């Protein structure tokens, strides 16, 4: 038997800044080298292997070369954002955004590192699953917890892959083989069964929210049940049929969501803006007294977070740089202005103006989700000119939920401003390209409520009301939270719930998949259109054709290099 070396790189989280807690389950040695001959014997070994699985999942977003991970691909394909970036950059984001290879004909491997990273993550999970029986488990509860988390991680990876590419090779054991693609149903069977295992075997008491300092980032029983609902809704919508997996029915999926709600583990953060660092952080003071950070951020692991992908602060390119690498892509292009709290970035995912106009008066989610470069004064600042002249697909709007932060300080004698922190504005030092560590929130409690409403819960109206009322909650003159006079109740119809999802989860990577599960033709009709933009300060147009989406059935390009390496075993998706 070959002794394969196993490298498990820890996700050591930075518990800094506003979120002062640490996630102990990821605080292990940065590298552990073992072989299959002396590993997978104890629960401790299993735990270390599980950390490697979490790291593999995180690497699908943090590895250099990824297009920006599943999140950015989801945003580019939706009707929320355009490709953006610089006018001289390659047009890979435009290819994804327009579903159009002609935007950059030579870009045939846009998703290659993503493909590699996902299969590497799946391999790690398969390694642990394959060796489960040789581990000396001290308790079935621990076994169910660790293996439930591992299977859920594998399910998450496959769910991303099957949505992106549709037809993919399936591996449920740790082997390196040149396998052909399988029917999506085979992949979904694994996804459903893995999540069912997690929901049934991770004890409800395994990672209580009351100890979020140590538990944040773990997949819980409740996260598994919520993820089951997300997979079920997409599968039944996109494929137009019920799953053939025993135990997966509309009633059982809804009951799982009701279990999450009844658990009392989660709640809506009272003000929407406090879910997001950039929307809830600012700096106060003056040159004489200095500037101090002010924030109402609810923090990492807050009561609304059901599952988050964790990233860590890092100070150098040491090979273990597990920062949120795609976040810098979302930052305002080449910003060179003390417009705190925002930092600089590459200007990807410029916001479609239709999103700004989609919110009703009084809906606090608009300003919490979108940076309006005009109304916030950035567009008029002369220091922003260079960024504006280099920006492609400029619309005057960019994403606020996920953006870089910064801190500037002014010299009292000279009046000059100096950038003192451009990681997330929550820590200090580091390289802003690799040191971003804002969580990516995979599942929020608001999503649980709206999915339960969509699936026909008897409490559907109440659940929808909770989400909408929070959106229209504001502070009065005394600082008390009150319901805005602009709030209007809407009935819990399918159309209203889907519209609420659009507003609630804007720029969270959910919109494209919500559109696609309502039908490819419908998704194409919502995404297609012509929008006036500016490219390097000059008038331009983003044109998206519905047929480009329908001809591809909403699927993405399989990397050409992978098809070549497979000696033709892999087949490209139609339309690409």
Predicted pLDDT of residue 16:
20
Per-position b or e across 429-467, b if 16+ CB within 10 A of its CB: ebbbbbbbbbbbbbbbbbbbbbbbbbbebeebeebbbbb
Q: What percent of the chain has pLDDT over 70?
A: 86
Nearest by Cα to 358 from 132, 224, 526, 483: 526
Q: ∠ CA 98-99-105 to the nearest 5 degrees?
A: 95
pLDDT tens-digit map of 292-326: 778 899 999 999 999 999 987 765 555 555 788 89
- Residue 81: partners with Cβ closer than 8 Å, 6 or more residues away: 75, 97, 349, 350, 351, 352, 399, 507
DSSP of 484-535, one letter per residue?
A: -TT-------HHHHHHHHHHHSTTTT-HHHHHHTT-HHHHHHHH-EEEEEEE
Looking at residue 182, the DSSP 8-state letter turns out to be B
Tokens of 160: 């991303």
Q: Which domains does the chain have, with CATH numbers?
A: 272-442 (no CATH), 446-529 (1.25.40.900)
pLDDT tens digits, one per residue of 196-224: 999 999 999 999 999 998 899 999 999 99
Q: pLDDT tens-digit profile of 228-265? A: 999 999 999 999 999 999 999 999 999 999 999 999 99
Cβ count within 10 A of residue 357: 8
- Mean pLDDT of the 345-365 span: 97
Rg, the chain, Cα only: 23
Pairing label, strands 305-309, 440-444? antiparallel
Angle at 285 between CA 378 and CA 471, to 5 degrees: 60
Q: Exposed, middle or buried, 68 (CB in 10 Å: 0-12/13-18/19+)? A: buried
pLDDT of residue 525: 98
CA 315 remoteness from chain centre: 23
State the chain's mean pLDDT as an integer.
89
pLDDT at 17: 24
Considering the entire predicted model, what is its pTM? 0.92
Q: Quote the tokens at residue 432.
A: 């802003």
pLDDT(3) > 50? no
Which pLDDT score is estimated for 292?
A: 72
**pLDDT for res 286:** 62
- The pLDDT-based confidence of 423 (bands split at 50, 70, 90) is low
Contacts for 471 with CB less than 8 Å, ≥ 6 apart: 272, 363, 364, 365, 503, 504
d(C-alpha 71, C-alpha 164), whole Å: 11
Mean pLDDT value of segment 393-412: 86
């Amino acid at each position: 038997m070959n002794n394969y070396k196993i490298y498990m790189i820890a996700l050591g989280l930075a518990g800094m800044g506003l979120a002062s807690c640490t996630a102990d389950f990821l605080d292990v040695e940065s590298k552990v080298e073992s072989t299959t001959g002396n590993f997978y014997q104890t629960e401790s070994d299993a735990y270390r292997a599980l950390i490697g699985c979490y790291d593999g999942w995180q690497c699908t977003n943090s590895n250099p070369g990824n297009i920006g991970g599943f999140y950015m691909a989801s945003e580019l394909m939706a009707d929320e954002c355009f490709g953006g970036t610089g006018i001289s950059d390659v047009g890979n984001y435009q290819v994804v955004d327009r579903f159009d290879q002609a935007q950059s004909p030579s870009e045939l491997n846009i998703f290659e590192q993503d493909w590699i990273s996902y299969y590497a993550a799946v391999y790690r999970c398969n390694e642990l699953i394959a060796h489960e029986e040789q581990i000396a488990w001290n308790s079935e509860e621990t076994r169910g917890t660790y293996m439930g988390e591992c299977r859920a991680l594998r399910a998450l990876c496959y769910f991303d892959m099957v949505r992106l590419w549709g037809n993919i090779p399936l591996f449920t054991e740790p082997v390196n083989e040149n396998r052909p693609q399988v029917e999506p149903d085979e992949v979904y069977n694994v996804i459903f069964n893995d999540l069912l295992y997690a929901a049934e075997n991770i004890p409800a008491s395994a990672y209580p929210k009351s100890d979020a300092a140590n538990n944040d980032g773990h997949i819980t029983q409740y996260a598994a049940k919520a993820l089951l609902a997300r997979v079920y809704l997409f599968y039944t919508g996109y494929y137009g049929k019920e799953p053939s997996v025993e135990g997966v029915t509309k009633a059982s999926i809804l009951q799982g969501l009701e279990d999450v709600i009844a658990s009392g583990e989660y709640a809506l953060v009272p003000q929407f803006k406090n879910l997001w660092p950039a929307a809830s952080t600012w700096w106060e003071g003056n040159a004489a007294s200095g500037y101090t950070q002010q924030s109402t951020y609810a923090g990492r692991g807050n009561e609304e977070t059901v599952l988050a992908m964790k990233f860590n602060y890092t100070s150098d390119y040491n090979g273990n740089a597990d920062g949120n690498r795609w976040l810098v892509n979302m930052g305002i292009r080449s910003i060179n202005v003390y417009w705190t709290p925002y930092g600089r970035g590459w200007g990807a995912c410029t916001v479609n103006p239709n999103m700004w106009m989609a919110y009703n008066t009084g809906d606090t989610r608009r300003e919490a989700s979108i940076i309006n470069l005009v109304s916030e004064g950035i567009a008029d600042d002369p220091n922003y000119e260079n960024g504006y002249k280099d920006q492609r697909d400029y619309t005057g709007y960019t994403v606020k939920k996920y953006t870089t932060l910064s801190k500037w300080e002014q010299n009292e004698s000279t009046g000059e401003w100096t950038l003192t922190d451009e990681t997330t504005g929550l820590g200090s030092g580091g390289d802003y390209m690799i040191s971003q560590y804002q969580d990516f929130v995979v599942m929020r409690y608001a999503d649980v409520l709206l999915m339960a409403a969509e699936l026909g819960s008897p409490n559907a109206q109440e659940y929808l009301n909770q989400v909408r009322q929070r959106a229209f909650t504001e502070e009065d003159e005394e600082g008390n939270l009150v319901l805005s006079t602009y709030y209007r109740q809407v009935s819990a119809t399918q159309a209203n719930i889907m519209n609420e999802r659009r507003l609630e989860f804007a720029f969270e990577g959910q919109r494209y998949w919500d559109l696609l599960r309502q039908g490819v033709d419908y998704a194409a009709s919502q995404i297609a259109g012509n929008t006036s933009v500016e490219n390097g300060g000059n008038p331009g147009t983003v044109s998206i054709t519905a047929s480009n989406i329908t001809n591809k059935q909403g699927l993405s390009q399989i990397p050409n290099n992978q098809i070549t390496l497979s000696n033709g075993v892999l087949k490209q998706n139609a339309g690409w």
